[in-house]
Chain A
Amino acid sequence: MPNQSQTPETTQTLTADESLQQEIAKLIVVAVNLDTLPAEIEPDAPLFNDGLGLDSIDILEISLVLSKQYGIQLRSDSSDNVNIFRSLRNLAQHVADHRTK
């Protein structure tokens, strides 16, 4: 469902995907105390190591926040675990597919 969102510079119509991405970006920034602004996180940039520079502690922290917010329980033996954290877009897609809240 399209969403209306206004920034000072432009008027943007966000898709549900983009809206969820931004929501998650905000959760990440707060959860791991990042210096970056949520809007600065590019949807396809790597989250782990390069790019955003997250490490395994951050992943654990984020997974807790995601489970509280969306009811998702991450597991290391799930086959697409590497892909899930490959980018914000992937993460948001995973949340969209598996959220229970």
Chain B
Amino acid sequence: MTAETRFPLIAQQPLEAVLAYRNGRAITVKCFLTDAYKVAATLSAKQYILNTCQDRYHFAVGFAATLITGGISLMPSSLTAETLNTLQVLAPGYINLGDEEIDKTSASKQNTCDPTTLKIPTIKGEQVVAWVFTSGSTGTPVPHSKAWGSLVKNVRIEAQRLGLSDGRRHTIIGTVPSQHMYGFESTILVALQSGSAFATGRPFYPADIRNAIAAVPQPRLLVTTPYHLHSLLSSGIDVAEIDLVVSATAPLSKKLGEETETRLHTRLLEIYGCTETGQLATRHPTQTAEWQLFDGVQLTMDNGQITASGGHLDQPVTISDRLEITHNGRFLLHGRAADMVNIAGKRSSFSYLNHQLAAVPGVEDGTFFMPKEEREGKITRLIAFVVAPTLNAPTLTQALRNRIDPVFLPRPIIFIDALPRNKTGKLPHTALTALAKTYVPQS
């Protein structure tokens, strides 16, 4: 591949093909392009764009418009005041692009899609098209540049793994947000690159998921997380036929996998990846515990440090998760990085969260702690031990609300006189566990 290699925005789709299903209407590739070009006409070149669209189709249009104008889509993991401050610094002059703006220009709504043949844009492989953020260890969100070529190569392999390249047109239904790496790649990009369509909603309740699935033609793919899957199965709701269920962002037990395949008469595949690397591997959890790396990706172990390289990756990336390389292209996942915390599919890091906690006026010392997981499907919340004589739970929670995603808000907050730091100032896990047992008996 030369530096000048270009990749199309949309592959394997004729202009008349359906790209999206929105509120009962089918939107063609042609209409999508019309909308994208219309929105692009309202943007200046090379802008930073914060795409806040909740509607999946709108998000895709906004992303395409940004792509066309050479801009960068900003994808922070949350929209707290703290994050927006960071964006002002890292991406000065960024503009907001939301559902309202896209809706106004939407041709597909008014059935005025461009009758002339539109060209599908091609973009240089090394063009940076998005910044996706993770929670940095120093308390500031960290942007990760995503080049178009890398993204395209990644999702094309994903499409093969998920069976989307089998000649049939699939429709993807996702419960995950478009703004996170998983949803971005697995509901939108993979559809654009593999000749599939996507449903524009983001179903929440089990009844919503059932309705969303029934509203689109077969074959259907459900892109979701263990939490939503568990919720769907617990509800006992009957679901129409799904070809494939895809799960990611958190470990999925063999039991939940088996239950999913049996009760929904389907196959379940898991994806392993992260914001830094994109998607790296898949596995069929009811058949094996082993993950299979994407084509071309290699894992090397050096001095206890694991690095991923090759394949769609533009450069080597350190992997902090505890992986055991088994044999050619396969590995076992023993655990996520110690600093990482994941709640209901949202990821952060303890060092980031603790930084945010320490920055709250009135907090003299404090730490987040994750108690032992209660049981599958039940979301375990973080607790916090805090030394803050002038604060109480409501005031501290309110202060944290401006800084961290609500899903990470501690529950409960335990106010104490001093944290059990050892001589080197560290907080041993055993000490925190003991503290948790005393104050939060059910943990």
Chain A residues at the B interface, C-beta cutoff of 8 Å:
33-35, 49, 53, 55-57, 60-61, 63-64, 67, 73-77
CA distance A61 to B343 in the complex (A): 14
Give which listed residue, B407, B409, B411, contacts A33 with CB less than 8 A: B411
Instruction: Determine which of B227, B237, B393, B406 lies in contact with A73 in the assembled complex, contact meaning CB atoms within 8 Å.
Output: B237
CA distance A101 to B231 in the complex (A): 20
Are B344 and A63 neighbours in the complex by a CB distance under 8 Å?
no
Question: Which one of B204, B231, B393, B409 contacts A76 once the chains associate, using CB atoms below 8 Å?
Answer: B204
- Which of the residues A55, A57, A76 comes within 8 Å of B205, measured between beta carbons? A76
Asked if residues A53 and B409 are in contact (CB atoms below 8 Å), the reply is yes
> In the complex, what residues of A have CB within 8 A of residue B227's CB?
57
Cβ of B366 under 8 Å from chain A: no
Answer yes or no: B208 CB below 8 A from chain A CBs: yes
Contacts of A60 in B (CB 8 A): 204-205, 231
Cβ contacts B262-303/A at 8 Å (1 or 0 each): 000000000000000000000000000000000000000000
Q: Which of A33, A57, A73 contacts B206 (CB 8 A)?
A: A73
How far is A50 from B15 in the complex, measured between Cα atoms in Å? 48
- The reply to whether A64 and B231 contact each other, CB–CB distance below 8 Å, is yes
Residues of B at under 8 Å CB distance from A? 203-208, 211, 227, 231, 234-235, 237, 343-344, 378-379, 381, 393, 397, 406-407, 409, 411-412, 442
Having A63-B205, A75-B205, A76-B203, one finds 14 other A-B pairs with CB under 8 Å, namely A35-B411, A55-B407, A57-B344, A57-B379, A57-B407, A60-B231, A64-B231, A64-B235, A73-B235, A74-B205, A74-B207, A75-B207, A75-B211, A77-B208
Q: How distant is the Cα of A55 from the Cα of B410 in the complex, in angstroms?
A: 12
Contact B208 A55 (CB under 8 A): no
A-B contact count (CB 8 A): 49
How far apart are the CA atoms of A68 and B204 in the complex, in Å?
Answer: 17
Q: Which residue of A lies closest to B205 (CB)?
A: A74
A26 to B347 CA separation, bound complex (whole angstroms): 30
Residues of A within 8 A of B205 (CB): 60, 63, 73-76
Q: How near does chain A come to B249, taking the closest CB pair, in angstroms? A: 13
Q: How far is the CA of A56 from the CA of B344 in the complex (A)?
A: 10
* Contact residues in A for B411 (Cβ distance below 8 Å): 33-35, 53
Q: What residues of chain B lie closer than 8 Å to A49, measured between beta carbons?
A: 406
Bound-state CA distance A27–B359 (Å) is 35
* Minimum C-beta distance from B215 to chain A (A): 11
Residues of B within 8 A of A61 (CB): 378-379
- Nearest chain-B residue to A67 (Cβ)? B235
B45 CB → nearest A CB, Å: 37
Contact status B207-A73, CB under 8 Å: yes
How distant is A2 from chain B, measured CB to nearest CB, in Å? 34
